[in-house]
Amino acid sequence: MSSLKDTVEKIKSLEAEKKKLLLEIAELKKMVDSKATALESEVAVLREEAKSLKSLVDQEQPNKPAKAD
């Protein structure tokens, strides 16, 4: 019977670990989503900065033909 008792204890232990891991995963997903949002904002700012700098460079070179998109 000790084998059955050991198995029951093992199941309880594994269920507790599963619950803990699911909570940890949920928290990590929140952190990853937050980081992705922050990076999206940073990239948008950098794109705007690059666009502004390109515009300044183009203004300083009036003899250069405009680049067709």
Q: Please, what is the end-to-end C-alpha distance for the chain in angstroms?
A: 78
Identify whether the C-beta of residue 23 lies closer than 8 Å to the C-beta of residue 29.
no
Percent of the chain with pLDDT over 70: 87
Angle ∠(19,24,26) on CA atoms, nearest 5 = 95
Strand residues in 1-69 grouped as ranges (E): none
Q: What is the pLDDT of residues 29-55, one digit of tens each?
A: 999 999 999 999 999 999 999 999 999
pLDDT at 67: 63
Q: Which residues contact 46 (CB under 8 A, 6 or more apart)?
A: none
Confidence (pTM): 0.63
What mean pLDDT value characterizes the chain? Answer: 92
